[in-house]
Amino acid sequence: MAELTDPETLRETVREKYAAAARAAAAGAAAPSSCCGPSEVALTDASGTQVFGDALYGAEDAAAAGTALEASLGCGVPTAVADLHEGDTVLDLGSGAGGDVFISASRVGPAGRAIGLDMTDEMLELARANAAAAGLTNVEFVKGHIEQIPLPDSSVDVVISNCVINLSADKSRVLREVTRVLRPGGRFAVSDVIADPDMGAATRADMAAWTGCIAGALTREEFGQTLAAAGLGAVEIRETHRVHEHAAAAIIRASKPTRGACCDPAALEACCAPTEKADCCVPSDSAPSSCGCQDAA
């Protein structure tokens, strides 16, 4: 249990788990057991429906993702709600075998770029092999941590991610990094797990449940607050399906304001009720928000 309090141990345990999953996929073994796939986390729900991985994708996306989808470990389809346009630069946090990067690449076209970021060498190797096999030229895979994204400020139009932010020991930092790399008006569209408020201490303290994408999940309210504190607005969180007795998969969307935030972080912390914070700095030219933040325009 103590190890769950140490961010370095957590990250290394997560890395080892996904390195093993990538090795198994590369060896052509049966798909790793889930997003997350410890035996403690069911791949299927009580009725036998698959709740993680490739079964969540439709035929068109499956064709774009190619063989990478066989090694999918996600809990949704972020590209389905990411509003991608020709020429966009897309960043996928924790890109794994690359399926969502390849789908993004097909949407943004040759004038655009899809970048996968992952910390695990074995996953990067698998993704690059998949890209080479597919002959894709507008994709690249970069090694790094989502807590310290190795890209310049305001260099990305869309950030996507599929079942990864829950694995980070410092989600506030991840979302601040998202805000930094997004261009003004840029979009954030991820699939991730959100915890029920009553998730118990035993689940929270279970390392297998953490690497299985459950124990580290924020609640819906915490996710909204963390996005707002990071400077993202227009937050939308929508549950898609249950993945655990105490957690659900969700689509989470937000955007970076097109101009300076209407509140500095201290004012944002103080000025609004938690549910209103996300609307404090909406990227629009509409009237000042109802929660009392000062409009900087």
Q: Which is nearer to ligand SAM, 116 or 186 (CB)?
A: 116
With binding defined as CB under 6 A, does residue 90 bind ligand SAM? no
With binding defined as CB under 6 A, does residue 94 bind ligand SAM? yes
Q: Which is nearer to ligand SAM, 114 or 119 (CB)?
A: 119
219 DSSP assignment: B
- CA 91 to CA 113: how far, in whole Å? 9
Q: Which is nearer to ligand SAM, 249 or 268 (CB)?
A: 249
**Residue of 167, 193, 215, 272 that binds ligand SAM (CB under 6 A):** 167
- CA 113 to CA 101: how far, in whole Å? 9
Minimum distance from residue 200 beta carbon to ligand SAM (Å)? 22
User: Parallel, antiparallel, or unpaired: how do β-strands 113-118 and 139-143 relate?
Assistant: parallel
With binding defined as CB under 6 A, does residue 146 bind ligand SAM? yes
What x-and-dash track marks residues 57-86 binding ligand SAM by CB under 6 A?
---------------xxx------------
- CA 232 to CA 291: how far, in whole Å? 16
Backbone angle region of 154, left / alpha / beta, with phi > 0 → left and psi within -120 to 50 → alpha = left
Minimum distance from residue 178 beta carbon to ligand SAM (Å)? 13
Residue type, 65: A
Residues 98-127 interacting with ligand SAM (rule: CB under 6 A): 99-100, 118-120, 123
- CA 191 to CA 265: how far, in whole Å? 26
* Stretch near ligand SAM under the rule CB under 6 A, chosen from 156-164, 182-190, 255-263, 277-285: 156-164
Which residues sit opposite 193 in a β-bridge?
249
Minimum distance from residue 191 beta carbon to ligand SAM (Å)? 8
| Distances, alpha carbon 155 to alpha carbons 46, 91, 253, in Å | 43, 10, 19
With binding defined as CB under 6 A, does residue 36 bind ligand SAM? yes
